[in-house]
């Protein structure tokens, strides 16, 4: 296993834990924010272990800020850093590894997003980047499935900072008791396992709870001569969640969610 972190001490500590438990691991300190860093990481992995079969994209950085506080002066720099780590980072890592996975006919990729995508104040940039990771997962899942490469995404909820007193928080007792990284890890391991059947899927992993996260489409309201007023008047139908489809791809969405409402034959 290759443990990548630009913070040398953090990577070395994880390597020590793995080797102490009887595993084999080495540390890598290249940044994933550049294509060159991704290539260097891939080369080190191949030099140490030969073929690469599993990639877990867990690099992250957080710069919490209210959206209104992201001025034209400070906003671009904040956005650039977050995008470089969270969204481009996985691409930089996978670009040099993906062709080999396709050629060998096997690969497991686990992308790590965040429960912040549900909507969390002060996390606009972070949540946007993590939502991008979800879209990347869906597409790579489609592209990789023809070559034995499975790609899935987890949205973990776990805390590593033990210092704050959370006794007064709404979920404080649950966080303290259950929302730990070691309770999230088994879900990641399962998704990286050769027996896992899923690909292109999203999973919320709330400590010891794993659940499929699906993008759905309601039945909605169809009007072949639409006006703003028709949607206003049928708003309850647009929003009604009692009937819905779960598209597995863009084509599936068109085929099963959209086309039936136009009463046209599907070719």
Dist. CA 11–CA 44, nearest whole Å: 15
Indicate whether 265 pLDDT > 60: no
Place of tokens 């639409």: 226
Between the alpha carbon of residue 266 and those of residues 9, 223, 260, the distances in Å are 58, 19, 9
Indicate whether 146 pLDDT > 90: yes
Query: What token pair was written down for 25?
Result: 């691991």
pLDDT one-digit tens code per residue, 100-130: 999 999 999 999 999 999 998 889 889 999 9
Q: What are phi and psi of 87, to 5 degrees?
A: -105, -50
The model's confidence at residue 74, banded by pLDDT at 50, 70 and 90, is: low
Beta strand pairing call for 217-218 and 2-4: unpaired
3-state helix, strand, coil in the chain (%, to 5): 50, 15, 35
Q: Is the dihedral of CA 238, 243, 248, 254 positive or negative?
A: negative
Indicate whether 266 pLDDT > 60: no
- Give the domains, in start order, of the chain with CATH numbers: 53-213 (3.40.50.720), 217-262 (1.10.287)
The span from the first CA to the last CA of the chain, in angstroms, equals: 48
- Please answer whether residues 56 and 112 qualify as being in contact, where contact means their C-beta atoms are separated by less than 8 angstroms: yes
- Please answer whether residues 61 and 72 qualify as being in contact, where contact means their C-beta atoms are separated by less than 8 angstroms: no
Query: What token pair was written down for 6?
Result: 């630009």
Dist. CA 82–CA 114, nearest whole Å: 13
Catalytic residue annotation: 126
Indicate whether 131 pLDDT > 90: yes
pLDDT one-digit tens code per residue, 156-213: 988 876 656 666 676 767 777 777 889 999 999 999 999 999 999 999 999 899 999 9
pLDDT at 76: 67
């Amino acid at each position: 296993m290759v443990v990548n972190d630009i913070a040398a001490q953090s990577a070395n500590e994880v390597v020590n834990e793995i080797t102490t438990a009887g595993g084999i691991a080495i540390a890598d300190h290249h940044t994933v924010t550049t294509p060159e860093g991704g290539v260097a990481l891939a080369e080190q992995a191949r030099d140490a272990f030969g073929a690469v079969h599993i990639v877990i994209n867990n690099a992250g950085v957080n710069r919490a800020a209210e959206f209104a506080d992201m001025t034209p002066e400070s906003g671009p720099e904040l956005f650039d850093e977050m995008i470089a780590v969270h969204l481009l980072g996985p691409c930089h890592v996978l670009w040099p590894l993906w062709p080999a996975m396709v050629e060998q006919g096997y690969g497991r990729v686990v992308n790590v997003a965040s429960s912040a995508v549900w909507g969390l104040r002060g996390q606009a940039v972070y949540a946007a980047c993590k939502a991008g990771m979800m879209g990347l997962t869906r597409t790579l899942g489609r592209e990789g499935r023809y070559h034995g490469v499975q790609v899935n995404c987890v949205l973990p909820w776990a805390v590593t900072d033990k210092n704050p007193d959370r006794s007064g928080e709404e979920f404080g007792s649950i966080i303290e008791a259950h929302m730990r990284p070691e309770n999230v890890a088994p879900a990641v391991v399962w998704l990286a396992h050769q027996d896992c059947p899923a690909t292109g899927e999203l999973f919320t992993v709330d400590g010891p709870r794993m659940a499929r996260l699906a993008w759905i489409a309601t039945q909605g309201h169809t009007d072949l001569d639409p006006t703003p007023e028709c949607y206003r008047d049928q708003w309850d139908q647009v929003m009604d969640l009692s009937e819905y489809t779960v598209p597995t791809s863009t084509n599936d969405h068109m085929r099963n969610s959209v086309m039936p409402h136009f009463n046209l034959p599907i070719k």
